[in-house]
Amino acid sequence: MKLIAANWKMNLTPSQTKEYFEKFLPLVEGIKDREILICPPFTSLCVANEILRDKWVKLGAQNFHYEAKGAYTGEISLIMLKEFDISYVIVGHSERRWIFGESDELINKKLTAALQYGIRPILCVGERIEEREAGLTFKVVETQIRIALSGLEAYTDSLDIAYEPVWAIGTGNPATPEDAQLVHAFIKELLFGINPNHRGETRVLYGGSVNPQNSSEFLKMKDVDGLLVGGASLDPESFAKIVKSF
Ligand code: 13P
């Protein structure tokens, strides 16, 4: 089943979250043939969980600390998140990597923790513009995935991966669906190389300037198994259009 996910990033307060769902839920009522996921900020998880309880729309978190508890001022653990019925966590988003300095090694620790706690990770990978221009896209994506999955090779089916080229995020300049398809096919092939027992259950999502006008073109691609949407997910009508665009 395709996964259409919203990453709200640092947007929408708890009261705005409530207003969002009042508009969004009727627009996607009855849609059961695709998974819909909302990843709000931590501060909206409580209200979102109350609204989404017994609903088909799933809830995810954008970030977490890999330890269960302890002296980590300002951090949130997976034990805490589990109380909000989180189904997914985003790991290694490029904003975490490039603004907050998360390394591939830290991302590996986070992935390990998410798998331990039984919350399905969405691992984000993608090249920066200078890496793309140097012809390094596949190498960068491969390195990010290999280090993230180091020691976790047997669990390749227990996560989803989002290909989000950094230059396409929030720029209005998406990858072409054909370019995304090439990277998605490469990622799927790579997973079979990493785990000889891989069953091919990992979905590869595309993210980066997805909007209601271009979403269906991405979803037509053979190896695009869903979308991770930032800016265009903040408006309930626009995200509902993306959800319904195939
Ligand atoms: P935009 O859709 O705003 O480009 O953001 C994509 C993204 O980073 C989703 O995680």
Q: Is 105 exposed, middle or buried (0-12, 13-18, 19+ CB in 10 A)?
A: exposed
Dihedral angle computed from the Cα positions of residues 175, 178, 184 and 188, in that order, rounded to the nearest 10 degrees: -170
Per-residue pLDDT, 121 = 98
CA dist 46 and 85 (Å) reads: 10
- pLDDT tens sequence across 16-65: 999 999 999 999 999 999 999 999 999 999 999 999 998 999 999 999 99
Look up residue 192 and give its amino acid: F
- Which residue ranges have their beta carbon within 6 Å of ligand 1? 7, 93, 164, 169-170, 207-210, 228-232
Rounded to 5 degrees, what are φ and ψ at 85? 55, 50
Cβ contact 159:199 at 8 Å: no
Q: How far is the CA of 29 from the centre of ligand 1 (A)?
A: 24
Question: Which ligand 1 atom is the nearest neighbour of the CA of 229?
Answer: 2
For residue 239, name the pLDDT band (cuts at 50, 70, 90).
Answer: very high
For residue 228, name the pLDDT band (cuts at 50, 70, 90).
Answer: very high
Per-residue pLDDT, 211 = 98
Cβ contact 114:91 at 8 Å: yes
According to CATH, the topology of domain 3-243 is: TIM Barrel (3.20.20)
Q: In this structure, how many other beta carbons lie within 10 angstroms of the beta carbon of residue 62?
A: 21
Look up residue 20 and give its amino acid: Y
DSSP-assigned letter for residue 156 = G
Catalytic residue among 127, 164, 184, 198: 164
Q: How far is the CA of 155 from the centre of ligand 1 (A)?
A: 26
Which residue's CA is the nearest one to ligand 1's atom 1?
230
Which of 80, 9, 85, 79 shows the shortest CA–CA distance to 50?
A: 85
Question: Which ligand 1 atom is the nearest neighbour of the CA of 208?
Answer: 4
Per-residue pLDDT, 54 = 86
Which of 177, 174, 172, 146 shows the shortest CA–CA distance to 161?
A: 146
Q: What's the rounded mean pLDDT across residues 207-216? A: 98
Per-residue pLDDT, 181 = 98
Per-residue pLDDT, 143 = 98
